[in-house]
Structure 1
């Protein structure tokens, strides 16, 4: 029963009133983040399941999985509940509010998951098998993003895999505008008002900085990854798999 209570999603109303600051992963966001993701990111649940299935296809004892920006640990908890082999699951996040909520959930479900409050830009990656970053890199400043992806590459074992999802932009400005309009229509269908959509867009200005698909692939190649593929795309949301 306790697990159900912790897993219950509070409704996202963060941007229903005037914003006073730029977007950040504070207590207000952490408390509604699961609802925010499911209503703001198209096919988020399906993408999470796709990545988990990809990991489970080659699961084995002792395999090390690291989630960058674990937020409320939903991805790690889902993976933990479905794996048969005893893999080592760990998450990094730099938000104390997210860490607190994630620890509560892991404790409630009795999940053996290691969570650490850390800055991924300075973290010492230690020969991971798989590193996952779902909608995380886009919040890293572009000049630092390349260096982080290089660190991720170097922190993977040989034949290691980096799986990441990102919001993207398009070189074709007309197409980019069309995709944004389609995305905002999607958010309205999820119950967000035009005011909330505008408020969040303003809060994310210069905080979430997306690359094109080509820029993300180029970044991975420059970091040393030998093969990069896209395994999912809906409008301006894409999931990549980069192999060392």
Structure 2
């Protein structure tokens, strides 16, 4: 269960925001309260992606997957083909640890892979049917955004 977000209630010296263990611990609570219609966007996005995935061997890449909520929505979607594979990328090991806990069954079944990666230096993506960047681009340095988007568009399926 996600803990209540109290990250910014602490006083003292201000630090740069980081997706560290302290944030990962409360992230799901934090994002569901701070992003308007967060859960509704997840649901609608899942519906759209499932409508366009092939029935056999689809692949979805989630860039900046954080705690794996988007992948969780997708894997649990009633239209999700058993053969669909999901690859989540994030640069925060703490966030990926939460995602590993959340998606442990899907990982064990070989349906989900999680990769530690700096999106500004992301290697070539595998062939896939959908690329997701939910609320991610704002955390990529502006100078690196164009290359990330170009790499995302260069995929072949």
Q: Which has the larger radius of gyration?
A: 1
Does the residue aligned with 1:91 lie in a helix, a strand or coil?
strand
The match for 2:150 is 150
Which one of 78, 81, 95 corresponds to residue 76 of structure 2? Answer: 81
Shift of 1:84: 3.4
Shift of 1:120: 2.0
Distance between the aligned counterparts of 1:58 and 1:124, measured in 2? 23
Does the residue aligned with 2:8 lie in a helix, a strand or coil?
coil
**Which structure 2 residue ranges, 5 or more long, are not aligned?**
none
Shift of 1:130: 0.5
Shift of 1:127: 2.1
The match for 1:205 is none
Would you say the 8 A contact 2:120–2:141 is kept in 1? Answer: no
Shift of 1:61: 1.7
The match for 2:89 is 92
Distance between the aligned counterparts of 1:43 and 1:71, measured in 2? 18
The match for 1:10 is 3
Shift of 1:53: 0.4
Does the residue aligned with 1:35 lie in a helix, a strand or coil?
helix
Aligned length: 148
The match for 2:127 is 127
Distance between the aligned counterparts of 2:37 and 2:80, measured in 1? 26
Which one of 2, 20, 28 corresponds to residue 22 of structure 2? Answer: 28
- Provide the alpha-carbon RMSD of the alignment: 1.3
Distance between the aligned counterparts of 1:13 and 1:148, measured in 2? 32
The match for 1:166 is none
The match for 1:71 is 66
Shift of 1:141: 1.2
For the pair 1:41 / 2:35, whether they are aligned, the reply is: yes
Distance between the aligned counterparts of 2:128 and 2:30, measured in 1? 29
Distance between the aligned counterparts of 1:62 and 1:120, measured in 2? 25
The match for 1:54 is 48
Shift of 1:75: 0.9
